[in-house]
Amino acid sequence: MPKINDVALAAGVSTATVSRVLNNSKTVNAELADRVRVAAHQLGYRPNGIARSLRRRSSDVIALIINDVSNPFFTAITRGVEDVAQRSGYSVLLCNTDEDPGKEATYLRVAEQQQVAGVILSPNTATSDVSRLFNAQVPLVVIDRTLNEPVDSVMVHSLNGAEAATQHLLASGWKRPACVAGPREASTASDRLHGFLEAVRQHGNLEELYEYAPFTQEGGANAAKSLLDLPTPPDSLFVANSQMALGVLDEVRRRGLRIGYDIGIITFDDAPWAPFISPPMSVVAQPAYEVGRRAAELLMERVISGTPLEPREVTLSTTLILRESSKRLPA
């Protein structure tokens, strides 16, 4: 691998000039610049990003740390982030924590050690430790779940969405809704549960039925199982995310329950498969791509300006998409 010095030698200039040319400094004589470019090209020179980062104390890479790569919500976010990062000439490195605080800590450390230009984080819990990033002055924006720190954030108003979904269940004639809630530690899970409970309380006279579980297919299946095994089981389910919904569907099918007659279902997240299951799934859609886009925009501002800004907070809204699974059909 040729180094900057080889290029300098070949072009008959100093390394400083090579560096200037390669970094588009405008103050270089055109003829020299050409010689440098030719030499660099002939040698197949590639700047060593590590050395550059060490010197500059920052790279042109941002890290996106998410909880679950297989959740379509996060992959849609990823697209949003990538689109704006790319436009600014940054690459995005995706890190999957799998809801594991240990992995999250590891990736936070990697991000710091690799001197990424910035990080977008969906924290496992509100107490995830970002102090090192903070000390290292690495720009950070938090998405999806809140953090107990004053930082830039892009959130979705889960509570409202959950409340609306539950009200819809009730308005459709279901009498005994329950909530398949996510894990206690996730703010989104508790927001959605609270939205659900809010609607239940407003309706009055209803038992507060819910079950915490991990945001996974298995978690959803287990929660549904517990709920449906109750002496007086619920007749409808509000599910906290689409991964869980798959598990709920599995359990419902296993029991031979007919959606629309024996049970009503509505879930958070408009997964790509939602319209195609039977019956089509009603959902509370989150503007996932938008979350990613806005987060990346906030991050890029900080990265590029470098100036310290007041923490900014953007909150987006959900959309209720009514399909069939939540409707109550005449017997």
Residues 236 to 265 in contact with its own copies, rule: CB under 8 A: 246, 249-250, 253
Closest to DNA by CB, 56 or 201 = 56
- Name the residue nearer to DNA (CB basis): 45 or 74: 45
Which of 326, 283, 296 is CA-nearest to residue 192? 283
CA atoms of 216 and 237, how far apart (whole Å): 16
217 contacts its own copies (rule: CB under 8 A): yes
Please say which residue, 56 or 201, places its beta carbon nearer to its own copies.
56
Q: Which listed option, its own copies, DNA, none, makes contact with residue 171 (CB within 5 to 8 Å by class)?
A: none
Query: Is residue 94 a contact residue for its own copies (CB under 8 A)?
Result: yes
Cα distance between the two ends of the chain: 74
Closest alpha carbon to 20 in 28, 31, 9, 12: 28
Q: How far is CA 263 from CA 142, 175, 247, 249, in A?
A: 36, 10, 15, 11
Q: Is residue 53 near its own copies by the rule CB under 8 A?
A: yes
Q: Looking at beta carbons only, is 9 or 110 nearer to its own copies?
A: 110
Q: Does 129 bind its own copies (CB under 8 A)?
A: no
19 is an interface residue for its own copies by CB under 8 A? no
Smallest distance from DNA to CB 306, Å: 12
- Looking at 31-186, which runs of residues are DSSP E strands? 61-66, 91-96, 118-121, 140-143, 152-156, 177-181
Which parts of 15-151 are beta strand (E)? 61-66, 91-96, 118-121, 140-143
Among residues 261, 283, 262, 263, the alpha carbon closest in space to that of 272 is found at 283
Closest separation in Å from C-beta 75 to its own copies: 4
CB neighbour list of residue 75: distance below 8 Å, 6 or more residues apart: 69
Residues forming contacts to DNA in the complex (CB under 7 A) are: 1, 3-5, 12-20, 22-23, 26-29, 32-33, 45-48, 51-52, 54-57
Distance of closest approach, residue 28 Cβ to its own copies, in angstroms: 23
Whether omega before 279 lies within 30 degrees of 0, making that bond cis, reads yes
Beta carbon nearer to its own copies, 51 or 230: 51
| Min dist. Cβ of residue 138 to DNA (A) | 14
Q: Which does 5 bind (CB under 5 to 8 A by kind): its own copies, DNA, none?
A: DNA
For the chain, what's the residue count? 331
How many C-beta atoms lie closer than 10 Å to residue 290's C-beta? 17
Smallest distance from the beta carbon of 106 to its own copies, in angstroms?
6
Q: Are strands 209-212 and 264-268 parallel, antiparallel or unpaired?
A: unpaired
Binding site for its own copies (CB under 8 A): 1, 44, 46-54, 59, 61, 69-70, 72, 75-76, 78-79, 82, 86, 91-96, 98, 103, 106-107, 109-110, 112-115, 132, 135-136, 217, 246, 249-250, 253, 271-273, 275-279
